[in-house]
Chain A
């Protein structure tokens, strides 16, 4: 069988799971597991690395993004939604992470346009491990892995947190769905196996486990 063109950073970790797979954006992805609904009553952890994303940085990026019709979060370390689906996270002052939803393809278009960028606009190749955490015990997991008090953040301000989790640089977007914590995490894919194994171990101790992408996107 031909090796897929895109492989999740934790592809090998997911092989032992009793799951349904689907190729999304050329990447084999876990879409459901046998006990998804049971796990998310406690804590579900899902691999969303298959979503397309790109990064851009530089002093002129905000203006350039606006010219491309991309909504730009006004304040550093905040995020907003893309018009179709997906999000734009402002990382500090002059760097952005753009991630598509399941049905949009804005990031590849931006990455393509960025191959010959204007002055002070620099494309950033993103090859993250992208994770979603959801369920009532998400904060219990975060307490064990990060020294940020996420519960003190005002979610209405759409915060983006750049932090270190288990010693790995991490982008975190805290949120809620149906009144329950729903967090997005991104880190350098080369740390993916370590991050995933550690988070999953804690999630399982809390009664949760791996859930398919269908539960979150």
Chain B
């Protein structure tokens, strides 16, 4: 279980709420079913990624959504500004400080949670990416079945004053299953295994969705979203860099490269590492890096220059590194310990 209360948390209500989100984020939300969540990517007018999160539709005219931790204040201000300009029939409420959130993750998370709620947690009723409003340990909660860390997990949002009660109830209920708190370092490694990028770490002030391999989140056939016009121009040009996964050889056992180390090709800078870590699941170093497109080919080796000037060979790898078929989110695999 990890405390994810630092995430930005916003509510949007009104008949135009879906339209507002359609304009702000790159995805489609108008046709999204109530009770479901969807990844959300926000761009600026130049098409650069500025924030991301998860949008949950709780009712046709009621959305609850998250932002990055560092982007919470800016996103709320920007969305408030846009709401004033567009004059749509919707109201935005910032509940970042008013709501606490924890992520209960792992193959036994359902066994823990089911002790504290009457909510039907079966996969058929509460599937992956669904959201429900329910009482958890007597606390009114918004529960999302999302999988940032790659395991069967529940993100549980409650009023901040009830956070200690929720935490303690979950720890008590999970004691028999060996529940443990985990921190941001572990979370970052787990998400890396799943190939999930972090805005601000795996993106910079120039990164577009095309660079970050997030084309699947961008619905260019929408009438409008912020950054769309720029992406229309950018998409006609060849990308200068693409975010890819990479691995070091499993036998690699010296000082590993670090984030921001450069990728060198024939004496020229050809990219940089944005994330790297040793995966206990795969027993080798894995990472994300921006690479020149001609190098970004699965299985192709490339060189990383370390701080001491020496070069380390890495290989472009498909992502996710871990559970690429997303079997951990399926009922059949839940009882197994490893993938």
Contacts and interface: CB of A to CB of B under 8 A. Distances in A.
A57 B92 CA distance: 9
B179 interface: no
A119 B95 CA distance: 20
A122 B91 contact: yes
Contacts of A49: 161
A49 B160 CA distance: 12
A122 B13 contact: yes
Contacts of A27: 161
B305 to A, nearest CB: 42
A49 B89 CA distance: 33
B239 interface: no
Contact of B93 (A2, A9, A123, A191): A123
B165 A3 contact: yes
Contacts of A191: 97
Contacts of A188: 97-98
A127 B89 contact: no
B31 interface: no
A124 B164 CA distance: 21
Nearest to A187: B97
Contacts of A190: 96-97, 160
A126 interface: yes
A127 B164 CA distance: 14
Interface string B125-143: 0000000000000110000
29 contacts: A2-B165, A3-B165, A4-B164, A4-B165, A5-B138, A5-B162, A7-B165, A9-B160, A9-B161, A57-B93, A58-B91, A119-B14, A119-B15, A120-B14, A120-B89, A120-B91, A122-B13, A122-B91, A122-B93, A124-B95, A124-B98, A125-B95, A125-B98, A126-B98, A127-B159, A127-B160, A127-B161, A188-B98, A190-B96
